[in-house]
């Protein structure tokens, strides 16, 4: 009996062409690999420690990563390492597997940049539900200072089946909310240039891209021109040459449009 309808099978198949499993147990990795191959054909690699997983991630550029979180592998730390690395797969969906399904573990996974959390033991249908969520409900990427990963407002461990309780619950963030978030992240990135220049540069470039896209619909040409100008200046910089003094004059042209925004990201 198929575990998913044809449409879901196609979307999951596109996601799972290459999969990477981080599991200290060979038996555990084989179990997950067997379930994945029952869902659809795919190439699978497995690493038993964080160093090997990072090596395989660089070599194979997986489309989806499964991380077993426990005593032997700190899945939360490994996810953060992947998200903040220079790997080509740093934005790949991460599904965390753990028997430690406490509130702290689930929130820690969310705040590390995990897409989905899957409590062990699980069935193939549980696995398909998480894969379907990743493949069919993509989430915006957030490139900030304190957080790098998919939009946490759309995180769902899959274990809650009750009514939604959020006052605001929609799939697409309005343009104005996107602008305000980008400005908050930009302010935080400016403050972090000396402490974390690589991530500060990433965050600034990502936010200027976001601003240029968001304001296009509003035809706010002066604002968009300021965002494009800053983006071009940042693209020419490297973390080693990035200074707050060099960036602030350009950034202030954008921040001046929203002087009332003072929250930190």
Token pair belonging to 223: 């604002």
| Cα–Cα nearest to 76, from 35, 42, 104, 48 | 104
What integer pLDDT is reported at residue 219 of this predicted model? 66
Residue 197: band (very low, low, confident or very high) from pLDDT cuts 50, 70, 90 = very high
Q: How much helix, strand and coil, in percent to the nearest 5, is found in the chain?
A: 50, 10, 40
Residues 159-191 have pLDDT tens digits of 444 444 444 444 445 677 888 889 999 999 999
The stretch 216-243 carries a mean pLDDT of 81
Token pair belonging to 192: 């972090």
Question: CATH number for the 6-154 domain, one of 3.40.50.2300, 2.40.70.10, 1.20.120.530, 3.40.50.720?
Answer: 3.40.50.2300
Predicted TM-score of the model (pTM): 0.84
> Are the CB atoms for 119 and 163 separated by under 8 Å?
no
| Cα–Cα nearest to 118, from 13, 23, 260, 238 | 23
Backbone angles phi, psi at 21, to 5 degrees: -115, 125
Q: Hey, where are the domains in the chain?
A: 6-154, 175-255
User: d(Cα 109, Cα 119) in Å, to the nearest integer?
Assistant: 12
């Amino acid at each position: 009996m198929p575990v998913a309808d044809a449409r879901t099978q196609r979307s999951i198949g596109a996601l799972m062409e290459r999969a990477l499993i981080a599991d200290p147990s060979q038996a555990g990795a084989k179990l997950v690999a067997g379930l994945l191959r029952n869902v659809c054909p795919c190439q699978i690699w497995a690493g038993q420690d964080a160093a090997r997983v990072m090596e395989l991630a660089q070599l194979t550029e997986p489309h989806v990563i499964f991380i077993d979180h426990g005593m032997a592998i700190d899945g939360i730390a490994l996810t953060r390492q992947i998200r903040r690395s220079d790997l080509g797969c740093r934005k790949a969906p991460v599904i965390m597997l753990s028997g430690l399904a406490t509130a702290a573990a689930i929130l820690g996974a969310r705040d590390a940049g995990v897409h989905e959390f899957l409590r062990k033991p699980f069935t193939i249908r549980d696995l398909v539900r998480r894969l379907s969520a990743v493949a069919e409900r993509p989430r915006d990427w957030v490139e900030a200072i304190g957080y790098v990963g998919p939009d946490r407002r759309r995180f769902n461990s899959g274990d809650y089946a009750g009514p939604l309780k959020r006052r605001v619950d929609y799939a697409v963030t309005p343009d104005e909310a996107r602008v305000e978030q980008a400005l908050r992240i930009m302010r935080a990135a400016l403050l972090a240039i000396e402490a974390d220049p690589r991530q500060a540069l990433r965050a600034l470039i990502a936010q200027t891209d976001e601003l240029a896209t968001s304001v296009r619909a509003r035809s706010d040409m002066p604002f968009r021109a300021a965002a494009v100008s800053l983006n071009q200046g940042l693209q020419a910089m490297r973390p080693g040459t990035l200074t707050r003094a060099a960036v602030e004059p350009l950034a202030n042209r954008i921040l001046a449009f929203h002087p009332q925004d003072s929250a930190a990201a």
